[in-house]
Amino acid sequence: MASGTALIYDDEMTSYKLLWDNPECDIEVPERLLSSYEQLKRYHLLERCVHVPVREGTEEEIMLVHSSEYLEVVKSTQTMNEEELRRVSGNYDAVYFHPNTYRCAKLAVGATLQLVDSVMSGKVCNGMALVRPPGHHSQRNAANGFCVFNNVAIAAQYAKRRYGLQRILIVDWDVHHGQGIQYVFEEDPSVLYYSWHRYEHQQFWPLLRESDYDAVGQGKGKGFNLNVPWNKVGMGNSDYLAAFFHVLLPVAFEFVPELILVSSGYDSGIGDPEGQMNATPECFAHLTHFLMQLANGRLCAVLEGGYHLKSLSESVCMTVKTLLRDPLPQISGEMAPCLSAVESIQNVRAAHKPYWKCLMYEEATPLHNLVTKSKQMMEAELIQTSTHPTAKQAVGKTNSDEAIKIDRFLESHMKKILFPVPPVKTSAAIVSKADAHLLPISVQVEMEMNAQELKTLVSALDAELVKEERALLSLQNVVAILDKILKKKVCNGIAESSLASVSTTFALKHCFDFGLQRVLCIVVGDVDLELDLDDGKILLMNICQKQQTEKTNSKYHISLNWREDAERNNFFCAVLGFILPVAYSYQPDLMIIVIGPNRSLGINGISLLTCLLQGLAESRILVVIQDTEIKVVQSVAKTLSGVPAPDFGAYAPASQENVLEIKRLRNQLQQEWKMLRCSVRDWI
C-alpha cells in the first residue's frame, strides 16, 4: 500500500507574465505560485512531501487533447515580439502570451504527468502539482481563460493509455466552468467530469448555455458530465459540502473511479475577486478528505485558478496538509446551505436521475416548474431563519481595501483553526490479548490504567458504579483510551468492552466532566443507552434493524431503521445522504461509535462510516466494541490508522425501503439539521 504525498513545483513556471495593460488578465501573476510555495514552507508541509521533478510534456502528449495546428501556434509565440504576442493573444478569450509561455505550458503538462506517474507507479499515494499556466478552459484548437494546454484533460487521456484505466473521476472545484474538459470527455463514459461554477443564469463568464445542470454528457457519455451551476455569489462551506453530499459523492461511489484528478482552482475560496464566494480554506481540507476515500486514495490535485494570494496559499496548504493525512480542522460557519444552492443541487439530481442508481428514487421534474410565488415565500423564510451570507448581489471586482480585509481575516482565522499543538495522529486500541496480534502494529497500545486510578475517576462521577466489579472491569479499556483522546495524546482509538452500554454511558459523563460541548454518539446494533438527551450535549443516533418505538421526542435522538440487504454493500445513501449531513450540522467535538450485537451493518458499512466521519471533531473518534468478530475490529483499526477506505466491491443500490426511510427522516429532520436539505420542495 503506497503512502506519501508528492509535491511537484518548479520556479521556472513563474517566468512568464502579462507584458501590457489588460485588466481582464492582470490577476494571473507569477506570485500565485510563489506565495503558495512559500506558505507550504512556512507550515513545514514542504519538507514532509516527496519532491518529484518537473519535465516538459512531449508534443505527442499535448496532442492527446490538442491539434497539431494549435500546438504550432503556441510554439510560434516563443520568438514573438510584444506586438505579435498581443495579436495572437487577441485571437482568444481572456488569454495573454509571453515568450516563455510555451515553455511553461509544456512544464505544466509535464508536471501533471509526473504526478500521475508517481501515483500510478505507487511511489506515492497522492500529491499536488503547482503549475502555471492553468489548463481547464483550453480546448483542442484554442487557448482560453489564462489556459494554454489542458493539463488535467491530457493527464486523464494519458492515464487511460499508459495504465489502461477504465474509470477516471475529474473533480473541478475551480469557480469557473472547465468547459475545455467538458468538451474533451462529453461522449466518454470512462471519464466522469464534475464541475461547480459561478453561473448566475449564464450571466457569468464563460457565459455558456452548456455550463448548466442539464448538460449531462452526450451519446455514450450521458450521465458522465455533472455540472452544478451556482446562480448566486457568496456560496460558502455549507453549500460546497451539500453539493458533495448530495451530488458528487453518491455518484462517485457508484462510479468507483480508479484515479481522481482534481482541477484544483481556489478562486472558489473566500476573497477571490473572480469567484466572489465565501468558502474558507479549511473547506478544501474537507473536500480533499472526502475524495481521498475513493480510488484507494489515488488522488492528483493540479492547480488551476485562485487569485487572492493569501486565500489561495492557505487553501493550497489545507489541501496538502490533508493529503498528508493530518487531522482536519473543524469547518467553520453555520452549516446550512442556502436556497439557491439547494435549488441547483435539486436540479442536477433530477437531471441525472436516469443515469445513476443512487438517484433513482428522485423526483423527476427539475425545479424550473415551481411557481415563482412559492419561491419568494421560501426566500422570505430563509431570511428570517438563517444568517447565511449568500443571496447577495454580485458587487463587481473586489477592491483592494476589501482584499486587505480578507487578508486580516484569514490571518486570524488560520490561527484559530490550526491546532496550537502539533497534530496527533496516533491511534490506540485495546482488545482482548488473544486478538491483539491481528491488528496493524500502529494501533496496538498497551494501556492498562491502574485500578486505583480508575476507581478514583469512577467514584468521582458515579458512586454506585464503583461498587460493581464486573462493570468496573468493562470500563477499564474504554476509559483508558478516552482519557488519552481527551488529553490529545492520541487522536482516536478502539476499546473492547463486555458491557458497551455501561462503559459508553460512563464515557459520556467523563467527556462532559472534561468540558466537551457536543458528542455525537452513533450506535450500531443493540446497545441500550440510558441517557438524558435534553440539553443537546449528546446527539444519539441508533442504526438498528428493529422498529424502535419512539422512546423520546428529543431532537437529539435519531433512530434509523436500516435493513442490510444480502449484498451488504449499500450503505452509501445512508452515510452520504443522512449521517454525514446530520453530523456536519451538529459539529461535534468528539464522536463515539458503539458497535454491539445484532448489527444491521456489514464491515463495509462500518468502515465507510468511520472513514468519512474522520473529517469531524478533528478526527477524534472513540470506537467501543462489544461481541463483535475480529474482522470488524481489524477493519475499523485500519481505517482509524489512516489507511484509505477499503475496496467496497461492486456497487449495489440500497433497497427502496431503505431509501424511503432516509427520505422520511430527511423531511422530518431537515429543519433542525439543515445540511440534510437537497430539495426545496420540502423547504417550508
Q: Residues interacting with Zn ion, by CB under 5 A?
A: 174, 176, 265, 267, 305
Q: Which of 179/504 has CB closer to Zn ion?
A: 179
Q: Of Zn ion, ligand Q9C, none, which one does residue 205 interact with (CB within 5 to 8 Å by kind)? A: ligand Q9C
Q: Which of 61/174 has CB closer to Zn ion?
A: 174
Q: Active-site residues: which are they?
A: 137
Q: Which of 212/267 has CB closer to Zn ion?
A: 267
Closest-CA residue to 230 (of 218, 252, 247, 253):
247
Beta pairing class for 168-172 and 126-129: unpaired
**What does the radius of gyration of the chain's CA atoms come to, in whole angstroms?**
25
Does 564 interact with ligand Q9C (rule: CB under 6 A)? no
Q: Which of 267/496 has CB closer to Zn ion?
A: 267
Judge whether 420 and 630 are in contact, CB under 8 Å.
no
- Nearest distance from residue 206's CB to ligand Q9C, in Å? 8
- Nearest distance from residue 134's CB to ligand Q9C, in Å? 4
Stretch touching ligand Q9C by CB under 6 A, among 2-10, 77-85, 141-149, 659-667: 141-149
Closest-CA residue to 170 (of 299, 346, 39, 2):
299
**Amino acid type, 292:** M
Which of 180, 217, 236, 265 is in the footprint of ligand Q9C by CB under 6 A?
Answer: 265
Q: Which residue has the cell 449531462?
A: 216
Stretch touching ligand Q9C by CB under 6 A, among 143-151, 278-286, 515-523, 544-552: 143-151
Tell me, letter by letter, the H, E, C secondary structure of 133-184: CCCCCCECCECECCECCCHHHHHHHHHHHHHCCCCEEEEECCCCCCHHHHHH
**Residues near ligand Q9C (CB under 6 A), total:** 15
- Nearest distance from residue 280's CB to ligand Q9C, in Å? 19
Which of 212, 267, 314, 496 is in the footprint of ligand Q9C by CB under 6 A?
Answer: 267
Beta pairing class for 427-430 and 299-303: unpaired
Q: Of ligand Q9C, Zn ion, none, which one does residue 24 interact with (CB within 5 to 8 Å by kind)? A: ligand Q9C
Does 146 interact with ligand Q9C (rule: CB under 6 A)? yes
- Nearest distance from residue 277's CB to Zn ion, in Å? 11
Which of 234, 257, 269, 305 is in the footprint of ligand Q9C by CB under 6 A?
Answer: 305
Does 353 interact with ligand Q9C (rule: CB under 6 A)? no
Closest-CA residue to 236 (of 146, 320, 86, 337):
337
Judge whether 449 and 483 are in contact, CB under 8 Å.
yes
Stretch touching ligand Q9C by CB under 6 A, among 70-78, 100-108, 145-153, 650-658: 145-153
Closest-CA residue to 258 (of 126, 193, 192, 167):
167
Does 134 interact with ligand Q9C (rule: CB under 6 A)? yes
Map the footprint of ligand Q9C across residues 65-124, applying CB under 6 A. Answer: 94
Stretch touching ligand Q9C by CB under 6 A, among 32-40, 139-147, 432-440, 560-568: 139-147
Helix (H, G, I), strand (E, B) or coil at 229: strand
Beta pairing class for 168-172 and 225-230: unpaired
Q: Which of 31/532 has CB closer to ligand Q9C?
A: 31
Q: Tell me how far apart the alpha carbons of residues 120 and 97 are, in angstroms, rounded to a whole number.
A: 33
CB neighbour list of residue 67: distance below 8 Å, 6 or more residues apart:
140, 141
Q: Which of 106/176 has CB closer to Zn ion?
A: 176
In order of 3, 313, 320, the CA distances from 48 in angstroms are 12, 17, 10
- Nearest distance from residue 362's CB to ligand Q9C, in Å? 32
CB neighbour list of residue 392: distance below 8 Å, 6 or more residues apart:
232, 233, 234
Helix (H, G, I), strand (E, B) or coil at 226: strand
Q: Which of 306/577 has CB closer to ligand Q9C?
A: 306
CB neighbour list of residue 368: distance below 8 Å, 6 or more residues apart:
347
Which of 110, 145, 588, 653 is in the footprint of ligand Q9C by CB under 6 A?
Answer: 145
Q: What is the DSSP string of 232-285?
A: SS---HHHHHHHIIIIIHHHHHHH--SEEEEEE--TTBBT-TTT-B-B-HHHHH
- Nearest distance from residue 359's CB to ligand Q9C, in Å? 30
CA 612 to the chain's CA centroid: 9
Q: Which of 92/506 has CB closer to ligand Q9C?
A: 92
Q: Of ligand Q9C, Zn ion, none, which one does residue 147 interact with (CB within 5 to 8 Å by kind)? A: ligand Q9C
Does 250 interact with ligand Q9C (rule: CB under 6 A)? no
H/E element holding 128? strand 126-129
- Nearest distance from residue 496's CB to ligand Q9C, in Å? 51
Exposed, middle or buried by CB within 10 Å (0-12, 13-18, 19+), for 402?
middle
Q: Tell me how far apart the alpha carbons of residues 274 and 297 are, in angstroms, rounded to a whole number.
A: 31
Q: Which three cell numbers stand for residue 501?
A: 452500554
Q: Of Zn ion, ligand Q9C, none, which one does residue 94 interact with (CB within 5 to 8 Å by kind)? A: ligand Q9C
- Nearest distance from residue 45's CB to Zn ion, in Å? 23
Does 176 interact with ligand Q9C (rule: CB under 6 A)? yes
Q: Which of 138/634 has CB closer to ligand Q9C?
A: 138
Q: Which of 207/383 has CB closer to ligand Q9C?
A: 207
Q: Of Zn ion, ligand Q9C, none, which one does residue 186 interact with (CB within 5 to 8 Å by kind)? A: none
Map the footprint of ligand Q9C across residues 654-673, applying CB under 6 A. Answer: none
- Nearest distance from residue 205's CB to ligand Q9C, in Å? 4
Q: Which of 14/559 has CB closer to ligand Q9C?
A: 14
Judge whether 137 and 146 are in contact, CB under 8 Å.
yes
Does 304 interact with ligand Q9C (rule: CB under 6 A)? yes
Closest-CA residue to 344 (of 173, 178, 200):
200
CB neighbour list of residue 432: distance below 8 Å, 6 or more residues apart:
496
Q: Tell me how far apart the alpha carbons of residues 5 and 481 are, in angstroms, rounded to a whole number.
A: 30
Measured from the Cβ of residue 649, the count of other Cβ atoms closer than 10 Å reads 11
Stretch touching ligand Q9C by CB under 6 A, among 144-152, 351-359, 499-507, 658-666: 144-152
Q: Of ligand Q9C, Zn ion, none, which one does residue 281 interact with (CB within 5 to 8 Å by kind)? A: none
Q: Of ligand Q9C, Zn ion, none, which one does residue 146 interact with (CB within 5 to 8 Å by kind)? A: ligand Q9C
Judge whether 344 and 232 are in contact, CB under 8 Å.
no
- Nearest distance from residue 306's CB to ligand Q9C, in Å? 7
Helix-then-strand count for the chain, H and E: 23, 15
- Nearest distance from residue 147's CB to ligand Q9C, in Å? 6
Judge whether 295 and 169 are in contact, CB under 8 Å.
yes
Closest-CA residue to 251 (of 364, 171, 367):
171
Residue nearest to Zn ion (CB): 305
Q: Which of 176/353 has CB closer to ligand Q9C?
A: 176
Which of 43, 185, 196, 205 is in the footprint of ligand Q9C by CB under 6 A?
Answer: 205
Q: Of ligand Q9C, Zn ion, none, which one does residue 567 interact with (CB within 5 to 8 Å by kind)? A: none
Tell me the torsion sign for CA atoms 4, 8, 11, 17: negative
- Nearest distance from residue 65's CB to ligand Q9C, in Å? 16
Site mask for ligand Q9C (CB under 6 A), range 19-58, x = bound: -----x----------------------------------
Measured from the Cβ of residue 564, the count of other Cβ atoms closer than 10 Å reads 19
Report the interface residues with ligand Q9C, using CB under 6 A.
Answer: 24, 94, 134, 137, 145-147, 174, 176, 205, 265, 267, 274, 304-305
